[in-house]
Amino acid sequence: MCKKIKYNLIPLIAYLICIIADEFIAIQKPVDHNTTYAIWFIPIILIVIAGGGLIRYIARCFSSVEGKKVLILGAQGSGKTTLLCHLQGKKTDTSNYQSSTTKTEYEEFDYTKENGESVRIAAGVDLPGREQAWEHDVKDYIEDAEILFYLFDADKFLNDNKYQKDVVSPQLSHINNEWKKKNKNTDNVVIIGSHLDKIKLEPDKAITKIKDMTSNKKYHKLLAKNFGLADIRDEKQSKKIFQIVLK
């Protein structure tokens, strides 16, 4: 991110040193032009060396500004990596949910909507859904995000009280708190209950039940806005979500 760039002060320092050295030598004794040229050649070399890194920083900064900063979070096995693959236009194994156990960075890319419009997605990171130290791991990423997808296993949520209490509720509470701290628009938080294919209830009834189960939670307003169920393995369902969110 732009705010994390540390400017390289080596060229500036070298420039100041050469000015001082040039003035000092000039006072002590006359200096021929070759010596002066040699002194001023030092900062030029340092600027060229350091400049390459600085240019790359600037280019990365501006390219990130152009793209939407999308963050995909969720519980382990909820379909985060599969959703990202669909967003990137990558082919994925539709027989199962793709899983990532390590943090993986990706470069910026373009997503093409059904109407042919292209949306630039900024460089980001695919985060694992491990519960340990989850809040600490995602805090900085939530702060930078413009659009946030949160996924959880809806079938597990409906049938496993421990999963609901110890995994999903703490994660949604943390997202809700961090989003509010930054006064961000909650319309840009999209919550997806995955594993729709496993749920025995009709989708509308399952959605109503999940909302009722979380009605006493502070994050329940997030579920009242952009919440739905999906089989993330189905690319068509993912595209419908992107069509609505990536305006």
Question: What is the DSSP annotation of the chain?
Answer: -GGG-----HHHHHHHHHHHHHHHHHHHS---HHHHHHHHHHHHHHHHHHHHHHHHHHHHHHHHHHSB-EEEEESTTSSHHHHHHHHHT----TTS-----S-EEE--EEEE-TTS-EEEE--EEE----STTHHHHHHHHHHH-SEEEEEEEHHHHHH-HHHIIIIIHHHHHHHHHHHHHTT--GGGEEEEEE-GGG--S-HHHHHHHHHHHTTTSTTHHHHHHSEEE--TT-HHHHHHHHHHH--
Tens digits of per-residue pLDDT, 162-206? 999 999 999 999 999 999 998 899 999 999 999 999 999 999 999
Residues 153/233, Cβ–Cβ less than 8 Å: no
Question: 19-23, 57-61, 215-219, 231-235 — which is least confidently predicted?
Answer: 57-61
Residues 176/227, Cβ–Cβ less than 8 Å: no
Sign of CA dihedral 136, 138, 141, 142: negative
Give the whole-angstrom CA distance, residue 86 versus residue 75.
18
For residue 105, what are its two tokens? Answer: 């960075």
Which comes out higher in pLDDT, residue 114 or 1?
114
Beta-strand relationship, 147-153 and 189-194: parallel
Which comes out higher in pLDDT, residue 143 or 50?
143
pLDDT of res. 65 = 41
Cβ atoms < 10 Å from Cβ of 129: 22
pTM over 0.95: no
Indicate the pLDDT class of residue 38, thresholds 50, 70 and 90: low
